[in-house]
């Protein structure tokens, strides 16, 4: 996935990637990555858990604006099935435009 | 189904249940130019940006040719996903991860309903109509085909589609 990400960025479009395997992202070095220590096949979490999926999406969008150094991997703190997402304020996670 | 595909699916199920095993099966490819990381600064605000998803989770339309699961080195081709056809037109072909949960709710790997919510709420400008699906697990001789062929082709299409930001999601 990181190889495709690199090609898109090369062509002129900013990218953010979600990683489930940190070792892979460390080797491939895509421009911007958020990492979740979650099982394969679940980058946005559990099925029908919209609150959880919204938090991951907001974190990805935030990282697009927050990452300043090429190759940065942000380790997200969310533990698999050990978090409560319903109370999280999406507006507080989302970026407020380029600073 | 042939025994090779059954074996791949079994391994995928085990890795999904025991993620610490994943590192043993993943042989990362290091790009030759990995020291030079491509970089385009984000200039437009999120509220004015058009976003597209590129996924390697094996997502495609049911009426498109499925990804090739017999080739051990994967399938470097891509499928164009048109959201106007609706989510019920989508399916996943990918034997190298357990997509039982993503089959129930595609947003687990391809978060288009959440993106549409963000669009309605004004958090993002627009969700693109066209998105792009690959099958991960591309190795060996298909890596050059990916890097010099299908990946730059998708990148050009995203430029033509006037996409401002791209979200990449794995399987």
pLDDT in tens, B109-118: 999 999 999 9
Consecutive H or E run containing B3? helix B3-17
Tell me if B72 sits within 8 A of B3, measured CB to CB: no
Dihedral, CA of residue B13, residue B18, residue B19 and residue B22, to nearest 10: -70
Chain A residue with the nearest C-alpha to that of B121: A91
Give the span between the Cα atoms of A63 and A5, in whole angstroms. 15
User: ipTM score here?
Assistant: 0.97
pLDDT bucket at B28, cuts 50 / 70 / 90: low
Residue B72 tokens, joined: 């051990």
Residue B7 tokens, joined: 């074996």
Chain B residue with the nearest C-alpha to that of A43: B109
pLDDT of B99 reads: 95
Chain A closest-CA separation from residue B70 CA (Å) = 20
pLDDT of A99 reads: 43
Closest CA relative to residue B170, chosen from B129, B82, B111? B111
Contacts of B99 in chain A (CB under 8 A): 41
Chain B residue with the nearest C-alpha to that of A51: B114
pLDDT in tens, B146-155: 999 999 999 9
**What are the extents of the domains in chain A?**
2-90
Contacts of A52 in chain B (CB under 8 A): none
Contact A95 B46 (CB under 8 A): yes
- Bridge partners of B90, per DSSP, are B61
Chain B closest-CA separation from residue A8 CA (Å) = 5
């Amino acid at each position: 996935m990181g190889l495709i990400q690199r090609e898109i960025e090369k062509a002129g479009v900013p990218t953010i990637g979600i990683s489930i395997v940190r070792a892979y992202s460390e080797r491939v070095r895509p421009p911007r990555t958020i990492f979740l220590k979650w099982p394969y096949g679940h980058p946005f979490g559990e099925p029908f858990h919209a609150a959880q999926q919204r938090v991951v999406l907001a974190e990805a969008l935030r990282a697009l604006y927050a990452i300043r150094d090429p190759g940065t991997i942000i380790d997200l703190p969310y533990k698999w099935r050990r978090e409560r997402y319903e109370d999280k304020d999406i507006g507080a996670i989302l970026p407020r435009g380029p600073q | 189904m042939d025994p090779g595909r059954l074996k791949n699916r079994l391994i995928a199920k085990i890795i999904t249940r025991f993620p610490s095993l994943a590192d043993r099966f993943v042989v990362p490819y290091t790009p030759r130019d990995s020291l030079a990381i491509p970089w385009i600064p984000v200039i437009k605000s999120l509220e004015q940006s058009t976003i597209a998803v590129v996924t390697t989770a094996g997502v495609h339309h049911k009426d498109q040719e499925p990804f090739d699961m017999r080739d051990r080195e994967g399938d470097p081709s891509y499928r164009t996903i048109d959201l106007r056809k609706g989510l019920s037109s989508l399916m996943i072909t990918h034997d190298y991860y357990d997509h039982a949960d993503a089959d129930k709710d595609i947003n687990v790997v391809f978060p288009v309903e959440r993106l549409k919510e963000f669009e309605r709420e004004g958090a993002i400008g627009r969700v693109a109509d066209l998105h792009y699906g690959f099958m991960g697990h591309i190795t060996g001789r298909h890596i050059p085909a990916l890097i010099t062929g299908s990946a730059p082709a998708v990148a050009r299409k995203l430029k033509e589609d006037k996409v401002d930001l791209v979200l990449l999601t794995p399987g």
